[in-house]
Structure 1
Amino acid sequence: MMAKAFDSISPEHANFIQAQKMFFVGSAGVDGHVNISPKGYDSFRMLSPNQVAYLDLTGSGNETSAHLQDNNRMTYMFIALEGKPQILRLYGDGQVILPDDPAWEQYASLFDLHPGYRQIIVSNIHRVQTSCGYSIPFYTYEGERNTLIDWAGNKGEEQLEQYRKQKNSTTIDGITTPIGKKFADMR
């Protein structure tokens, strides 16, 4: 099966996306490193055939949010680890919604807010592409890892805020993230 391109997410694409237990996001600034980040839990939502969102949890870095300020391009990738082989990519832009943003409540209501949530990324999709995935090995889903949620729950909001200030304010290339700008504005 050769790659096929579409202008929007079809019902068949939506079914495939919903069946996957993880996805990847790719982004890059104008200069510097390209970032690819795996995402898990039930954190992805399709809002329309051309708009998606995901709940982003506190992690060791915050590259995607800074890259979106820099050039506003990102790619989502879903791969079949069970069943029929397939890869599906969503190409689009991205907007960072922080908890103090007026749009937060609109989007946050779509998710279970796990401990450690830090932002929501909303993307307008202009291209959907499927490809074969013939070389992707089979893996069996055994369950979610609770490590990140337990870690965030044990830290509590005050320690998470300090962690984000220290680890999520700038990228590995020194780009200030929206979270970093928030901390700078608080000074």
Structure 2
Amino acid sequence: MAKIFDCITEELQQFISTQHLFFVGSAPLSPTGHVNLSPKGLDSFRILSPNRVGYLDLTGSGNETSAHLQENGRITFLFCAFQEPPRILRLYGQGYTVLPDSPDWNSLYPLFPPLPGCRQIIIADIERVQTSCGFGVPLYEYQGQRHILVDWANKKGEQGVKEYQQQKNLVSIDGLPTPLSNLPGD
């Protein structure tokens, strides 16, 4: 059954470190807005302290999490074991976006693998840590990370990725601005 913790314990940190996949959830304040749930991988998640986490966010087709964080800060991370023993872990918190021109970028970016196409780092201060059984999660066998996104960013090149961000990542699907919309265009 569910257990609640004040922070990410050493045992939970170990669990997180063995997961190849995590999910990020966020939502706008509008009751008609779209809830976003995004799967993430590529060794992009880091525990910064028992109550702070972050992940390196790569350029994608949308930028929902960043837009929602700018509007209201709410964020949830979900990890679930696809191999034994079963477990689900949720981290609830308040988050914000760190862009490459931010003063915090230089201290945070070296904590992550250097991946092409990165656009920002998402940081969250964790207020609630909750585990549950995971008995209903099916068993899956990990085969490896996909490299399609990395290959896409390498092929586009730095300037091509920036142009794509200007076209596709400035507003959410509900029309909320993202922190990228505050950057001057090239």
TM-score of the aligned structures, taking structure 1 as reference length: 0.96
Give 1:172's aligned amino acid.
I
1:33 paired residue number: 34
Shift of 1:29: 1.0
* Alpha-carbon distance in 2 for matches of 1:49, 1:158: 37
Q: CA deviation at 1:173?
A: 0.1
Give how far 1:13 is off: 0.4
Q: CA deviation at 1:159?
A: 0.8
Q: Which residue in 2 is equivalent to 1:23?
A: 22
Aligned residue runs from structure 1 range 168-187, under 5 A: 168-183=169-184, 186=185
Counterpart CA distance in 2 for 1:66 and 1:113 is 24
Once residues 51 and 10 of structure 1 are traced to their aligned partners in structure 2, the CA distance between those partners, rounded to angstroms, is: 12
> What letter is aligned with 2:156?
K
Do residues 140 (structure 1) and 147 (structure 2) align? no
Displacement after TM superposition at 1:95 (Å): 1.2
Which structure 2 segments of 5+ residues have no match?
Answer: none
Cα shift readout 1:44-92 (whole Å, capped 9, x = no counterpart): 0001100111000000100000100111110000000011111000000
Residues 1:64 and 2:73 aligned together: no
Structure 1 partner of 2:50: 49
Deviation at 1:134, TM superposition (A): 0.6
RMSD: 0.9
- The 2-side partners of 1:147 and 1:122 are apart by 25
Counterpart code for 2:7:
S
TM norm structure 2: 0.97
Q: Tell me whether 1:122 sits opposite 2:123 in the alignment.
A: yes
Residue 109 of structure 1 aligns to a residue whose secondary structure is helix
| Identity rate, percent | 57
**Aligned partner of residue 172 in structure 2, secondary structure:** coil
Structure-1 separation of matches of 2:26 and 2:114:
24
Q: Name the counterpart of 1:97.
A: 98
**Which contiguous aligned blocks of 4+ residues in structure 1 show a shift greater than 2 angstroms?**
none
Counterpart of 1:138 in structure 2: which amino acid? L
Partner of 1:78: 79
Give structure 1 stretches of 5+ with no counterpart. Answer: none
Q: 2:10: which partner in 1?
A: 11
Distance 1:5 1:153 in 2: 42
> Displacement, 1:105?
0.5
1:151 to 2:155 alignment: no
Report the number of matched residues: 184
Letter in 2 for 1:10: T
Give the residue type in structure 1 aligned to 2:20: K
